[in-house]
Structure 1
């Protein structure tokens, strides 16, 4: 479009047409009405016009929009087909960003992008956001096997039995079949799938089974609603304190920051770069930062922390880095000192490896502001430690701190910037991030050349242990052997020495003196021995690139986050690493432990920490957001519903309203137009894929979201059959009806009726005008029922009539 002379392939030969770019119709459009601008252009332009869309799905959407202008372009396969044809208007698929105008012959090429200005770009951005939502929807439904517990917002917890096609009013419709206590069945129309959620929060076998029509469910919902109100109020109190206190907006250290960033010896992964940018923006803003960075072991979270620390120190503030173990404090101290070596920054560590005299000197220097970055364990939270000008707190592996320490951190939250780093966020932390109370960044892209750790879950026996040890030692590597019982650790070392005489064995555990432990770790790092038998002290230990096998005894005794952390001790270089999770015989393992081991074995991919945390959320319950209780009312109603109620309560309290949790959650209007609205089996045979699409259609929140979904379906499965088009249009009508406060829409060949809610925003005068203007067509029946007598034989007529009626009832904004 940019060239003045454009070679365009036409028919068989090549012709030269003098071409000029088409003016941007969206820019010319008044009040951003591209269709109006297009209509004006077509009135003035007498030549032939070819519209182009990015894909088959976008083409169908464009055709629907042009239909509003009563334009029906012919579909052609290519530019030569258009040039050779005679039709004035045509449409084809071509990924063009620019339009084109030709004088002789008079032809115009109207590309979709310029027609809608930035619409396509925004759509791409929105798709990214939608992907996150879709993941949540899919997470919600993926494991929906027959017999799985599901929650219906109005009827409680039942069991899913599959999809069934039933005939209602002589029209086929698809329903979700749920079974309740005493064999009662409930058929849920696919249009109401947003009322259904998977029951998560505890073991499927322990999920309740409610009786239809009983009070049990309503009571459970009421109790959960009361707790949700309290939680929401407390949350908002923390939020309000943070919002009311002006956070410190750090100055942007432009050139120095660029120099510091250039000192990073690796290439940032895309996720890491995005996270670094997000943290930087948070720190430069005047609101206190509270961001959770979730990234697998060795995925570059420390660099994110270093850049944040650089901004804080550059801005004249002090940084406190809280770590759970002395070993990790030491490792961070070494890393930070190396990274800041070229800058006038004082880095200090406070841990058990320091003498009392050294610690006291550090405390005094902190109070005077002489130390820029201090790294320490929970010693830093003691009352006698005063930090003169604290600007940033970085918390590594928050789940390792106790509740009391977390309460102290919570008090800090409203005052300073907080950055939390974790490989597997614990359910409560994840819960807070998922419910939007804290900002969440996920680093899921592994560094280049990194291999995932191969994980084996097996019963413990000598031959397995011997084979695993020898495989690593013969390739010159080192092994972590985890034995978490200090009393028998010496015996374990003797047994291993007998089993594999060539192994050089060292022992490390938390009850050793600091200096001794430090020496053991240093010796292992420098390869003075090649097998380290240790307790869980190594969980957040030092990086040993040549240690690429870990053997964990009694793996069934560990939590999911802990197993993931321990497995992360190996595989930190480009060598293939192995993790052996040894267990007693199957019958001695609890069902929960079995689930944890299955979860860890199934998530061997790099970046699995987030998935594991979400699994953990389901295995042991979500954990109350505040306070010490770990499961609360969440068990009664299921995690998904609880989170939805909480989200609504937080929104309401934020607006200064009382949260009304008694009104149905997202029930939406009921619409029956007596026409088939489903995804036919011959269009999409996979029941599971249909279920997910039904859920996504039912959960769409606006017209753009529905259009994008329609585009995706056409591009994936082909042109939509009539019943599916009906389903999409019905959902759109439902969204419009909801905006107008209409509870029920009933329509058939001879007309229909609308039932209004008491708080409808529709202007009564608009209704009176309709009735006065056409008394034979419109009338009221009672206070809330509005009847219309319009012949609507064909489905198309029903949709058009209702869309036009809703348009007339929509209050005009000034």
Structure 2
């Protein structure tokens, strides 16, 4: 028994006691956020429920995997894994942290979606006004790449990742457009955002314009400055720096060079936003880690970037930035590949244990590496350094914090870069951009008091070479952690693989709530239906406001009697298996099917019939929906197709086609449908695919007569 959504109800399952069930605690969906048993999820048609794991059911002799979702009033829904695109993790914004679970049989979900759609129309108007204002502003159109640009890019000493090449191409294309660029470059720590940004900077300078590189800390300013001096060596580019590390006289000289146009690239902290800074011809503004700047600085940034190209670099985009990128108001490039030979950082969360920490430091020192020891209290940082000095008398220990004299801090940093310091006891001053490939052990005290994105950024300071790196996130012995702190530490331990920045940003959004992403009222609607679905509804509203008429994507439910699942022995990892289910669910063309088939062959070997059936069913689902068919179901040897609008002429023409001749029956009683008979031993998925392709080839006679 199937409900009208193609998902199996609890009542139907009770009749399948003989079916082998398999629940796994660690089954997870990988999208923007991983899904764990007990997490809230959103089904686009049925609302908010609780994910209860994955189970294998045998329905009328056919094996399939289903997600189990629990709803209010003991309602349970089993969602076929080939419909994973209908399910997303719930990320909302209720202030009290409570999530209201939907009751399956009620109309509350449809009402919540209707309210959100009405509200999305209002905000779409505001977003369109923003977008239109940006498109109407006149920027500077840079010319195509020159030979010098090609030469500069060819001198990069490492092989670029495909993501870097793609992002650089997108950014340079934007720069050649007459409208000001507003692009977000999102890539995890160490994924090569700086090189992509430098290629954009070179293009701007080569085109006769100046570049401002705005960074949140003096240390990062110094590091970017040194990187640029090295990278631009041999090219006629004058690079200067503005930060508290620079003397008053040099700052005045730099300001004069900015005004006269002598300075091509200026890297600096918020000093770049001072009133007395006047660029002769600013063409590109690069902002590193936008979330580190306060509201006042951001307002000044808006004024500075009014008619110039703007590129924002981030590892963990803040919710509002992420939202604007996902809803198409800001353009976004994403770096998803780690550079070659990098390994993820081994992360531990534990009560502060002197023996464990001592052994971790000794192990790093034994292999000739360096240690970051983060103690974020300036008043006691010197006594902590003395304590470590007594335990490691042979080690060279230094201190770095934001209140130090600029020359002293500069000297410490130089010594650290040159490998003269073994243990650096520091504050969160190391958070952004510091690149010390030889430092591969990180100890953080009181990690429970820091934000999730901040912890992820700090962890990115180690693991920047081919060596295995270690990070220890510690909290005080006996400390009672708040629920939020506990979830943050759980997330930092969970998201260790490369490319976790997006997941961290989404989890941060989940933990903090939607807040003021789109204003209080909007976040209320987001809480009602979840972030993912709200963004989709908002995107539809924006397109509607723009006058872009997209064909409404109807869904089709497919229930064919053949084994259609990924066996454990083919893909043993539950996480990878469910990720493949998600990819397969998104198949919308034969090309998509071929691409995923190639990936399966490459990664796991020849797929069994149950997997190829799964691919066929996913393609059938999308092809049938495009052809106006809302349901495909099989009973014994008969596959029935239910069109949204019954077209008798088309059905008659279909019955005469050689691919299905002699197999077709047409019924106009009750819900009209046509059916195709299968013969014993035939693969039902292949017959259904042939039938759908044949039906799709015929034009509808409705509205065309």
Q: TM (normalized to structure 1)?
A: 0.68
Q: Map 1:173-572 to 2 at 5 A.
A: 176-188=67-79, 193-201=84-92, 206-245=98-137, 247-356=139-248, 358-409=250-301, 415-436=307-328, 437-442=330-335, 444-448=337-341, 450=342, 452-473=344-365, 477-525=369-417, 530-540=422-432, 542-572=434-464
In 2, the alpha carbon distance for the partners of 1:253 and 1:596 equals 44
User: Aligned match of 2:592 in 699, 705, 710?
Assistant: 705
In 1, the alpha carbon distance for the partners of 2:388 and 2:616 equals 69
In 2, the alpha carbon distance for the partners of 1:473 and 1:165 equals 54
C-alpha change, 1:324 and 1:630, in structure 2 (3 Å) is farther
- Is the 2:565–2:614 Cα contact (8 Å) retained in structure 1? no
In 1, the alpha carbon distance for the partners of 2:121 and 2:627 equals 28
- Displacement, 1:538? 2.1
In 1, the alpha carbon distance for the partners of 2:594 and 2:105 equals 38
- Is the 2:184–2:312 Cα contact (8 Å) retained in structure 1? yes
Q: Secondary structure at the match of 1:490?
A: helix
- Report which stretch shifted further, 475-484 or 683-692: 683-692
In 2, the alpha carbon distance for the partners of 1:719 and 1:214 equals 41
- Is the 1:326–1:351 Cα contact (8 Å) retained in structure 2? yes
C-alpha change, 1:140 and 1:667, in structure 2 (3 Å) is farther
In 2, the alpha carbon distance for the partners of 1:528 and 1:271 equals 35
Q: Secondary structure at the match of 2:30?
A: helix
Q: Which residue of 2 aligns with 1:679?
A: 564
- Displacement, 1:322? 0.6
Q: Map 1:544-623 to 2 at 5 A.
A: 544-573=436-465, 576-585=468-477, 588-605=480-497, 608-621=500-513
In 2, the alpha carbon distance for the partners of 1:157 and 1:313 equals 52
Alpha-carbon RMSD: 4.6
* CA-to-aligned-CA distance 1:46-78 (integer Å, 9 cap, x gap): xxxxxxxxxxxxxxxxxxxxxxxxxxxxxxxxx
* CA-to-aligned-CA distance 1:14-66 (integer Å, 9 cap, x gap): xxxxxxxxxxxxxxxxxxxxxxxxxxxxxxxxxxxxxxxxxxxxxxxxxxxxx
- Displacement, 1:684? 7.9
Q: Which residue of 1 aligns with 2:529?
A: 637
C-alpha change, 1:717 and 1:183, in structure 2 (3 Å) is farther
Q: Secondary structure at the match of 1:701?
A: coil
In 2, the alpha carbon distance for the partners of 1:298 and 1:681 equals 34
C-alpha change, 1:226 and 1:561, in structure 2 (3 Å) is same
In 1, the alpha carbon distance for the partners of 2:85 and 2:618 equals 12
* CA-to-aligned-CA distance 1:372-394 (integer Å, 9 cap, x gap): 11111123234443323221111
- Displacement, 1:691? 6.1
- Displacement, 1:303? 2.4
- Is the 2:629–2:641 Cα contact (8 Å) retained in structure 1? no
Q: Which residue of 2 aligns with 1:153?
A: 44
In 2, the alpha carbon distance for the partners of 1:254 and 1:193 equals 46
- Displacement, 1:139? 0.8
Q: Which residue of 1 aligns with 2:6?
A: none
Residue segments in structure 1 that go unaligned for 5+ positions in a row:
1-136, 772-776
1:810 and 2:700 aligned: yes
Q: Secondary structure at the match of 2:100?
A: coil
Higher-RCO chain (CA-CA 8 Å, sequence separation at least 6) = 2
Q: Which residue of 2 aligns with 1:30?
A: none
Q: Secondary structure at the match of 2:148?
A: helix
* CA-to-aligned-CA distance 1:133-165 (integer Å, 9 cap, x gap): xxxx95149955554432222321122344464
* CA-to-aligned-CA distance 1:95-115 (integer Å, 9 cap, x gap): xxxxxxxxxxxxxxxxxxxxx
* CA-to-aligned-CA distance 1:83-135 (integer Å, 9 cap, x gap): xxxxxxxxxxxxxxxxxxxxxxxxxxxxxxxxxxxxxxxxxxxxxxxxxxxxx
- Displacement, 1:706? 4.3
Aligned residues: 656
Report which of the two structures shows the higher radius of gyration computed on alpha carbons: 1
C-alpha change, 1:679 and 1:326, in structure 2 (3 Å) is same
- Is the 1:482–1:534 Cα contact (8 Å) retained in structure 2? yes
In 1, the alpha carbon distance for the partners of 2:282 and 2:460 equals 32
- Displacement, 1:331? 2.1
- Is the 2:167–2:333 Cα contact (8 Å) retained in structure 1? no
Q: Secondary structure at the match of 2:431?
A: helix
Q: Secondary structure at the match of 1:371?
A: coil
- Report which stretch shifted further, 150-159 or 424-433: 424-433
- Displacement, 1:325? 0.7
* CA-to-aligned-CA distance 1:300-351 (integer Å, 9 cap, x gap): 3322222211110110111010100112112222322343343332222222
- Displacement, 1:534? 1.9
Q: Which residue of 1 aligns with 2:17?
A: none
- Is the 1:505–1:531 Cα contact (8 Å) retained in structure 2? yes
User: Aligned match of 1:738 in 616, 625, 639?
Assistant: 625
- Displacement, 1:199? 2.6
In 2, the alpha carbon distance for the partners of 1:278 and 1:685 equals 38
- Report which stretch shifted further, 727-736 or 360-369: 727-736
Q: Secondary structure at the match of 1:349?
A: strand
Q: TM (normalized to structure 2)?
A: 0.77
